[in-house]
Structure 1
């Protein structure tokens, strides 16, 4: 059984980026195999590695894991980033799924025919639906659940950094979140991950979109 953690995905953020973040916080080194051709993707399917013909795919502990939430939960459980009991874990999961919903809106922008029309909707939902929840949750505690860092905290940091890339002043009214962000980015593993040259991926560009469309044989960006 290999101890090596291998990530199979595109050379870009997408759904794998949260997994990269969590592995980094857990102190786990990983290698990456980038999908660049449709033949690579079809070979993974032929080999039975992709249960639902979807990536991300993560090789860890002798297993080939798919489905982002399942992968995140496995890593969180293994490295004690998921709450101390069932009640804490369900809170962590609720926060994490809410954050993921917001991040997926941002992830889809490069694949949207008219992304500008979606930005206002994302900003409004962030300000009215999502950020107030986390601002309140962080009004006293250092972390979202149980006084200890969990996967939900890691996802929240990733999400708020993504939001600031699109809306630089979006946290101006959310001082608790901004303070939380400062605490998280001061930790050694995260500080290193945020530096140039790390395995953190940049914002998606045209080449990233082109590669995904070629691998999945998508002829044009669908209206959304």
Structure 2
């Protein structure tokens, strides 16, 4: 039996959350080792587990993978969630990269001093730059690429849920995206992941920010 996948990160969303979502879509069980102190982080460094001295780090198939995009692409390809051909793959990656750009704007909010203008910028870009792309792409197809679930689909679901947490009703003008979201949430593994008590993480709070800063032994950046 293959060893269970192990995720090394904080007990919070951040860049690891998309990896959790993707593993969930692939029906892959995983364990988590949470970083909570600078000593734990230094141990990973000392063990040579972090190629670029960064997390997320995922233990899978005898490897210690770092860099979020590389991890996501490995998991997606391993579990047939990265398209059937080179054209599908590049489309999936374009969608996924765009979604990650938007989600990263939301991820840095807890570390920001003045969030109001940043929220306004996120809402504007979501409505004018990102959501229209997916509304058009989903005018007919069930999934974004090739008629089957992919990395891009799970990222779109995660992103729309993040947006609705900040901007309730933001999908009102994007009925195709909203319908897609509804379909995705009915997938058994995802439906379970959305229930209380799952490994899905809540929105980051002050305790999460404090832990991240303590692990890296740094102060709140002026973002």
Could you say what secondary structure the match of 2:196 adopts?
coil
Q: In the alignment, which residue of structure 1 is the partner of 2:73?
A: 73
Structure 1 position 4, deviation (Å): 1.5
Q: In the alignment, which residue of structure 1 is the partner of 2:221?
A: 222
User: RMSD across aligned C-alpha pairs, in angstroms?
Assistant: 0.9
Q: What pairs with 1:166-181 in structure 2 (closer than 5 Å)?
A: 166-181=166-181
Q: In the alignment, which residue of structure 1 is the partner of 2:7?
A: 7
Could you say what secondary structure the match of 1:8 adopts?
strand
Q: In the alignment, which residue of structure 1 is the partner of 2:115?
A: 115
Tell me how far apart the structure 1 counterparts of residues 170 and 52 of structure 2 sit (CA, whole Å). Answer: 37
Tell me how far apart the structure 2 counterparts of residues 151 and 53 of structure 1 sit (CA, whole Å). Answer: 26
The question of whether the paired residues in 2 share the 8 Å contact of 1:11 and 1:34 is answered with: yes
Tell me how far apart the structure 1 counterparts of residues 132 and 119 of structure 2 sit (CA, whole Å). Answer: 19
Structure 1 position 223, deviation (Å): 2.1
Q: What pairs with 1:41-190 in structure 2 (closer than 5 Å)?
A: 41-190=41-190
Could you say what secondary structure the match of 2:213 adopts?
helix
TM-score by length of 1: 0.98
Summarize deviations over 1:20-43 as a string: whole Å, max 9, x none.
000011000000000000000011
The question of whether the paired residues in 2 share the 8 Å contact of 1:35 and 1:41 is answered with: yes
Summarize deviations over 1:2-55 as a string: whole Å, max 9, x none.
521100000000000000000011000000000000000011011110000000
Could you say what secondary structure the match of 2:45 adopts?
helix
Could you say what secondary structure the match of 2:173 adopts?
coil
Tell me how far apart the structure 1 counterparts of residues 161 and 149 of structure 2 sit (CA, whole Å). Answer: 17
Question: Following TM superposition, where does structure 1 have runs of at least 4 consecutive aligned residues deviating by more than 6 angstroms?
Answer: none
Tell me how far apart the structure 2 counterparts of residues 45 and 130 of structure 1 sit (CA, whole Å). Answer: 37
